[in-house]
Structure 1
Amino acid sequence: MASSEGLRKRRKTESKAEVIGSDSGSSHNKDPVDWWDEFCRRVNGNLSPTKVLDSFKSVFRVSRKTFGYLCSLVKEDLISKPGKFMFKDGTVLSLCDQVAVSLRRLGSGESLGIIGDAFGLNHSSVAQITWRFVEAMEKRALHHLRWPDNDSNMDMIKSKFEKLSGLPNCCGAIDVTHILMNLRASDPTNELCCDHGKNHSIVLQAIVDSDMRFLDIVTGWPGKMNESLIFQNSSFYRLCREGKRLNGKLGEYIIGDSSYPLLPFLITPYEGGDLSEPRAEFNKRHQEVALVAQMALKRLKDNWGIIHGVMWRPDRHKLPRIIFVCCLLHNITLELEDVVLGELPMSNSNHDPGYRQQVCRVSDPEGVSLRDKLTLELSAGFRA
């Protein structure tokens, strides 16, 4: 969730969104409609009839309003760096062109070759343009992914989770997903990324709010690491242990599945098949919250194809930064395009096919006590 300062910045840039910043290269003060029409003519000329560009959102994974906001966000960085990129016909890429190429690369997951051939660009230009965009987003969009910075924002999250599941004081849901890679088997260092499913992967751990926005992420750990260990090495875990995140006096916590330890600030479900009615009811409510994180990760991978499927020999040092920017884009589209949880299907939330849930047997007595207290409260409310 963005901070109040970040939201003020966003409102200012939203007012400029329809005047997309295209005053670099050969495009000065060009109307966005004219830019899109010209872009389509140029690109469609390089595509077969079955692959002609369709709607704006199907190509870039964002609305025109969001596209305009992204252009204004990265404008200063993309036009201030030396060097100009040109299409094969000699036309200099405008700011809009650079953002368009980057979003197409991140959204489709198509290879540099396919995008370069379709857009009339050298393959190396696609890579350089996309990386410049990633660096600019890291710098300019950080306010779109941060832990709530005031009680009012957190109270809103807790209220929405309680309305969804009946669980009070829930501040988020945590889950992980694997980003798959096709790496050289001949390189012994790649064995570090070989996970339990015999794939090369790195892990993305995400904590989401009641609207599926990412509040905290950790990525870059090899796929073989279990969820519990990744969590316990995160800054979120350390801050909670130090009392600097989640208010223990208010009984604040996040929800996680059985692969996580049961802690005073992380509540997991009851294990076992023969549960009492109150415990079964608690697990049902718990799953309703956990599903929000699953849906967020599914939406992330579906919208940003570069991290969906198997990445072809990526730079392992750059990949975590690309994942981070995809998470920023996920949050921005939720904020600017007014997508709400109730409008999305609650099924088909499997974001990590082929991976089985691990089980962590660690439980803190204070976590056990809080879970039992929540179960009793839900049971009393259910009987009433």
Structure 2
Amino acid sequence: MSGRLFFSWRMFAAARDRDDLIFSINRNARARGKLNPVSDLSGSQFRRRYRLTKEMFKRLCQELKQNTNLRSSQRVSIEIKVLTALFFYASGSYQRPVGVAKHLCQKICSVYIEQVTQALTHANILNKYIKFPDTPSARRAISQRFYSKYGIPGIIGYIDGSHFKIVMPRKEEEHFYYSRKHYHSLNVQMVCDDQYRIINVNPKFGGANHDAFVWQNSDLNDYVQTLHQNGEMVWLLGDSGYPQRPWLMTPILDAVPESEEDRYNKRHRKARVLIENTFSRMKNRWRCLHKDRVLHYKPLKCARIILACSVLHNLCINHSLVDSDEENDHEIEDTENLNSDSEVAILEATSELIRGRQVRQQLVRRLQ
């Protein structure tokens, strides 16, 4: 008798739990149906929460729908998926608060963040928003703007690396990501133009790799070399952590004060604020990348999140959207004094170094 009663009680409890689950699902679905941040929030509230204007958000959703595999599901619209990801990128909060705010459980919230990240890093989106100048006219336009602002001819971008903190990877690969700053990170190489727009990004290397090593093994290095070999006199600017090359101009060490070399260094340092402020603006707008945050994902997914935020950064640049935090909260990181000359020397090829110094000396004389 007691066994039959227990079995009946279990059946009743299972049915009750199933009814509660269905009720919870329907309640959250109704809540999501009523949720419309675009109309419920003011323009400033929406921008403060999601870092984009309402019009930019609508265009982004439409663009992702047209050019990627991101789609609405039966219960959740594509707009809610994008908002979930934007809130995570912008706040740096863990996924549970994000999910509660959007009436989503943590697991499904993680799924939507992954879907939107993949959409933002789709080839159609990346090729549109992160594009190195691939024609002589495009490179000439950037070079002319650099010259008018900083007085250095031939510059098409400033290159540097920045460390983005990640959680400790698997033990067998941990040593690739433990940086000289004593935390696990990705050493992300970026190139920006004179308008703080990211024109190239490489998030593939762990924090244990030196800036010069990342550059030496990047496709961009080969591409800029090809331009130089084809007779196009353009180059990138980089700090002393990079090897001097005919296509990469670095500062002149131990320049005599008030000399031609010293004047070149001053202009070089003045231009360097571009890349520092680019990193600062991106990390301050998209707080999941901030120096006080850690990305709690595997390195590959962390790299995709950085790429996604780079796309969103350029989207804001294209729409001239400046966040108030960006103007007051700069994260200037002096990597020049942290780089070891001996590390760079190991990577330098003597003939290219000599030719690079000769080209740099010609450039110094042209500044007079």
Using structure 1 for the length normalisation, give the TM-score: 0.76
Q: Quote the offset at 1:145 in angstroms.
A: 0.8
CA contact (8 A) 2:142 2:194 kept: yes
Quick check: 1:133 aligned with 2:135?
A: no
**Which residue does 1:265 correspond to in 2?**
247
Q: What residue number does 1:149 align with?
A: 134
Map of 1:233 onto structure 2: 217
The 8 Å contact of residues 117 and 305 in structure 2, kept in 1 or not, is answered as yes
CA contact 1:115–1:126 (8 Å) conserved in 2? yes
1:173 to 2:162 alignment: no
Identical amino acids, percent of aligned pairs: 21
Give the 3 Å change call, closer, same or farther, for CA 75–230 of structure 1 in structure 2: same
CA distance in 2, matches of 1:273, 1:251: 24
Q: Secondary structure at the match of 2:366?
A: helix
Instruction: Tell me how far apart the structure 1 counterparts of residues 337 and 253 of structure 2 sit (CA, whole Å).
Output: 19
Separation in structure 2 between the aligned mates of residue 226 and residue 310 of structure 1, nearest angstrom:
22
Q: Determine the C-alpha separation between the residues in 1 that align with 2:256 and 2:153.
A: 25
Which residue identity does 1:279 align to in structure 2?
E
Q: 1:282 aligns with which of 253, 258, 264?
A: 264
Distance 2:329 2:83 in 1: 31
Name stretches of at least 5 consecutive residues in structure 2 with no aligned partner.
1-28
State which of 361, 370, 379 in structure 1 corresponds to 2:359: 370
Alignment equivalent of 1:66, drawn from 56, 64, 75: 56
C-alpha contact (below 8 Å) 1:258/1:358 kept by paired residues = no
Question: Structure 1 residues 313 and 204 mapped into 2: Cα distance closer, same or farther (>3 Å)?
Answer: same
Aligned-residue offset at 1:354: 12
The corresponding residue for 1:22 is: none
**Aligned residue in 2 for 1:121:** 104
Taking structure 1 as reference, are residues 248 and 291 closer, same or farther at Cα in structure 2, changes over 3 Å only? farther
Paired AA for residue 270 in structure 2: E
Report the Cα distance in structure 1 between the residues aligned to 2:143 and 2:336, rounded to whole angstroms: 32
- CA apart distance, 1:319: 1.2
Q: Distance in 1 between matches of 2:210 and 2:241?
A: 8
Answer whether contact 2:84 2:109 (CA < 8 A) is retained.
yes
Q: Distance in 1 between matches of 2:328 and 2:287?
A: 21
2: distance between equivalents of 1:250 and 1:354?
28
In structure 1, the gaps of 5 or more residues are 1-24, 42-52, 85-91
Residue 145 of structure 2 corresponds to 160
The within-5 A match list for 1:8-23 is none
* 1:37 alignment counterpart: 39
Equivalent positions of 1:174-193 (< 5 A) are 174-183=159-168, 187-193=171-177
Contact 1:183 1:312 survives alignment (8 Å)? no
* Matched residue, 2:80: 97
Shift of 1:36: 2.1
Q: How far did 1:35 drift? A: 4.8
Find the aligned partners of 1:58 and 1:338 in 2 and give their Cα distance: 12
Q: SS state of the match for residue 148, structure 1?
A: coil
Q: Given that residues 56 and 64 in structure 1 are in contact (C-alpha distance below 8 angstroms), is that contact kept between their aligned partners in structure 2? A: yes
Q: Output the CA distance in 2 between the equivalents of 1:218 and 1:176.
A: 9
> CA 1:373 to 1:346, structure 2 compared with 1: closer, same or farther past 3 Å?
farther
Letter in 2 for 1:306: C
TM-aligned CA deviation for residue 358 of structure 1? 4.1
Richer in helix (by share): 2
Structure exhibiting the larger radius of gyration computed from Cα positions:
2
TM-score normalised by length of structure 2: 0.79
Q: Are the aligned partners of 2:166 and 2:302 in contact in 1 as well (CA < 8 Å)?
A: no
CA distance in 2, matches of 1:249, 1:112: 51
Classify 1:148/1:197 alpha carbon distance in 2 versus 1 (closer, same or farther; 3 Å).
same
Q: 1:318 aligns to what?
A: 301
Alpha-carbon spacing, 1:59–1:294, altered in 2? closer, same or farther (3 Å): same
User: Does residue 1:328 correspond to 2:330, yes or no?
Assistant: no
8 Å CA contact 2:280, 2:332 repeated in 1: yes
Give the match's secondary structure for 2:356.
helix
- One-letter amino acid matched to 1:321: R
Count of aligned pairs between the two proteins: 325
Deviates further, 61-70 or 256-265 = 61-70
1:202 equivalenced with 2:186 (yes/no) = yes
Counterpart of 2:138 in structure 1: which amino acid? N
